[in-house]
């Protein structure tokens, strides 16, 4: 599966200082650099907050064929998944003027219109109830989360709900920005005990 992925090409062309050194612990150093945060936000606005890879998209295909993405932004991950033959319903509360693929205006309640789809969340907004509300509305078997575990995005309620109702089944390493430890994680809903 050869997917077009200009974001990955862009990322690889940047200086090494833009990338996380996995040998070093995560720090809050990026918070003291407003210029870096503005640059990263501009890049994310055009592409996405996380850089997809073919391995990540292939892992998604192994668990589902239908996705509902909440907080899709410019639709970059949606575009990548659709290239791979997945059916994707993508939503954001504010659809930017430029998108890589079709993104409809909608919030986390859009999950209810796609009960048979896998929920996909990429770096849901920090200190927001969006991810928690989307997960509460989701009744499918799988959830795909791209971001850091227990930090950097969403809120503690989301991670508590996720840990209590789902179990991790797969993690895929993806390119990491400076001082971020994100990856793609696939979760399956826990089955009730006997």
* Domains of the chain, each with CATH number or no CATH: 51-189 (3.40.50.150)
26 pLDDT above the threshold of 80: no
* pLDDT band per the 50, 70, 90 thresholds, residue 18: confident
Lowest mean pLDDT among 84-88, 137-141, 190-194: 190-194
49 pLDDT above the threshold of 70: yes
Looking at residue 84, the DSSP 8-state letter turns out to be T
Residues whose CB falls within 8 Å of the CB of residue 28, separated by 6 or more in sequence, listed in order: 179
Q: What average pLDDT does this structure show over 150-171? A: 93
* pLDDT band per the 50, 70, 90 thresholds, residue 30: low
Averaged confidence pLDDT in the chain: 92
pTM score? 0.93
Give the side-chain half-sphere CA count within 13 A for 26: 11
């Amino acid at each position: 599966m050869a997917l077009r992925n200009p974001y990955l090409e862009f990322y690889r062309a940047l200086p090494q200082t833009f990338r996380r050194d996995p040998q070093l612990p995560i720090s809050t150093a990026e918070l003291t650099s407003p210029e870096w945060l503005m640059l990263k936000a501009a890049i994310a606005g055009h592409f996405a907050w996380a850089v997809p890879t073919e391995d990540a998209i292939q892992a998604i295909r192994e668990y589902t064929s239908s996705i509902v993405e909440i907080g899709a932004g410019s639709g970059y991950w949606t575009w990548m998944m659709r290239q791979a033959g997945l059916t994707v319903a993508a939503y954001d509360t504010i659809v930017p003027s430029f998108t890589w693929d079709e993104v409809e205006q909608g919030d986390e309640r859009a999950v209810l219109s796609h009960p048979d789809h896998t929920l996909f969340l990429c770096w849901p907004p920090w200190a927001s109830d969006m991810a928690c509300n989307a997960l509460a509305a989701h009744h499918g078997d799988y959830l795909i989360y791209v971001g850091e575990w227990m930090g950097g995005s969403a809120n503690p309620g989301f991670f508590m709900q996720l840990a209590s109702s789902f179990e991790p089944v797969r993690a895929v390493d993806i390119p990491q920005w400076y001082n971020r430890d994100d990856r793609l994680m696939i979760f399956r809903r826990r089955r009730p005990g006997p």
